């Protein structure tokens, strides 16, 4: 890998992409980050040309249509953005010799059984988003066997692009009643930890699918919300402990897409490479602290 060349990042305005660019620049990398309008992943051939025209040592794809309901409403766009364009990026990297890292999701996994899932676990996408992401994983590997696919889950820690964690904290600050789904489990993962793992893996020859998520036991959204309230209260940002009611997947009216139930992953392969991810509780502590810092909130 020619370190004198930049890293080309797709999806640089996103939850992970923003943080990845910041972390890469902090380590001295030059980053080329086309905005959505400059290189639209709805046009796979243009994406391929863009990669071929850019002298980059690596391409990192953080772009996706990541909204489940959005994917259900527009399966063609999900297919183009989440599968076809990433495959074209991979193909272009085969020509230029650039390293290719593509982000995927725990939602491709079969979520019917409890327990942490390894990279060899069975996949069984049950919604359009997951189908398009799984298709992306397969097409990317077919186009470029050296490609590295990082499956991540429940990204938090970027208050500029709020996720469940930041939304629940914002609602608590506004004094709203809180409820969260208690019958679906995964692993919250901080965007900074994903970015750091990706940067550590960049100069390696690791290929195929690799799980990148926090360590520990699977958590439900309800568990995450309760832990966040405890952390916010303990650190003095919430005057009292806020109650979080339990919700069930079937009772959330705006969930049109089916959600897999047990998709928490194990980052064992990452650990064998000496890259350690924090425990999920530490991840939430980090995200809670980032959120209140970003809000400029005052301790009570």
Ligand X SMILES: NC(=O)c1ccc[n+]([C@@H]2O[C@H](COP(=O)([O-])OP(=O)(O)OC[C@H]3O[C@@H](n4cnc5c(N)ncnc54)[C@H](OP(=O)(O)O)[C@@H]3O)[C@@H](O)[C@H]2O)c1
Under rule CB under 6 A, residue 64 binds ligand X: yes
Q: Could you tell me the two tokens for 169?
A: 């904290």
The interface region with ligand X, picked from 62-70, 120-128, 202-210, 240-248 by CB under 6 A, is 62-70
Under rule CB under 6 A, residue 42 binds ligand X: yes
Minimal distance, residue 28 CB to ligand X, in Å: 23
Q: Could you tell me the two tokens for 139?
A: 């097409």
DSSP state, 279? B
Of 80 and 179, CB closest to ligand X = 80
Position among 8, 17, 57, 98 found at the interface with ligand X (CB under 6 A): 17
What is d(CA 233, CA 243) in angstroms, rounded to the nearest whole number?
11
Burial 41-51 (b: 16+ CB within 10 A, else e): beebeebbebb
Position among 65, 84, 198, 288 found at the interface with ligand X (CB under 6 A): 65
Please state the length of the chain: 300
Of 44 and 242, CB closest to ligand X = 44
Minimal distance, residue 4 CB to ligand X, in Å: 26
Under rule CB under 6 A, residue 157 binds ligand X: no
Position among 66, 96, 127, 139 found at the interface with ligand X (CB under 6 A): 66
Of 76 and 241, CB closest to ligand X = 76
Farthest CA pair distance, the chain: 58
DSSP state, 209? E
Under rule CB under 6 A, residue 154 binds ligand X: yes
Task: Give the residue among 260, 158, 155 at the shortest CA–CA distance from 212.
Answer: 155
Under rule CB under 6 A, residue 16 binds ligand X: yes
What is d(CA 47, CA 123) in angstroms, rounded to the nearest whole number?
28
**C-beta atoms surrounding 271 within 10 Å:** 12
* Beta carbons of 207 and 260 less than 8 angstroms apart: no
* Beta carbons of 36 and 14 less than 8 angstroms apart: no
Under rule CB under 6 A, residue 155 binds ligand X: yes
Of 41 and 244, CB closest to ligand X = 41
What is d(CA 98, CA 51) in angstroms, rounded to the nearest whole number?
9
Position among 89, 103, 202, 227 found at the interface with ligand X (CB under 6 A): 103
Under rule CB under 6 A, residue 118 binds ligand X: no
* Beta carbons of 93 and 56 less than 8 angstroms apart: no
**C-beta atoms surrounding 239 within 10 Å:** 10
Minimal distance, residue 82 CB to ligand X, in Å: 7
The interface region with ligand X, picked from 39-47, 167-175, 200-208, 223-231 by CB under 6 A, is 39-47
Under rule CB under 6 A, residue 161 binds ligand X: yes
Position among 96, 105, 128, 220 found at the interface with ligand X (CB under 6 A): 105
> Which positions lie near ligand X, rule CB under 6 A?
11, 13-17, 36, 40-42, 62-66, 81, 103, 105, 133, 152-155, 161, 163
């Amino acid at each position: 890998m020619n370190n004198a060349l930049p890293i080309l990042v797709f999806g640089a305005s996103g939850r992970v992409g923003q943080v990845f660019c910041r972390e890469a620049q902090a380590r001295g990398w030059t980053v080329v980050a086309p905005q959505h309008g400059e290189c639209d992943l709805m046009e796979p051939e243009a994406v391929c040309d863009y990669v071929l025209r850019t002298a980059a040592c690596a391409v990192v794809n953080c772009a996706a249509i990541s909204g489940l309901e959005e994917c259900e409403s527009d399966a063609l766009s999900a297919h183009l953005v989440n599968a076809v364009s990433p495959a074209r990026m991979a193909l272009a990297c085969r020509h230029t010799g650039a390293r290719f890292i593509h982000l995927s999701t725990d939602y491709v996994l079969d979520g019917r059984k409890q327990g942490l899932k390894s990279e060899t676990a069975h996949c069984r996408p049950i919604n359009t988003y997951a189908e398009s992401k799984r298709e992306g994983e397969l097409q990317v590997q077919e186009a470029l066997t050296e490609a590295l696919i990082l499956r991540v889950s429940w990204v938090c820690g970027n208050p500029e692009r709020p996720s469940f964690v930041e939304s629940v904290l914002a609602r608590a600050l506004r004094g709203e009643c809180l409820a969260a789904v208690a019958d679906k489990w995964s692993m919250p993962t901080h965007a900074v930890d994903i970015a750091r793992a990706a940067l550590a893996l960049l100069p390696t020859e690791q290929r195929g699918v690799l799980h990148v998520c926090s360590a520990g036991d699977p958590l439900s959204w309800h568990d995450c919300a309760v832990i966040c309230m405890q952390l916010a209260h303990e650190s003095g940002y919430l005057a009292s402990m806020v109650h979080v009611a339990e919700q069930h997947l079937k009772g959330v009216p705006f969930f049109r897409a089916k959600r897999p139930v047990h998709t928490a992953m194990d980052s064992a392969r990452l650990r064998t490479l000496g890259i350690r991810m924090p425990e999920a509780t530490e991840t939430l502590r980090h995200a809670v602290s980032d959120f209140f810092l970003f809000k400029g909130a005052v301790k009570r």
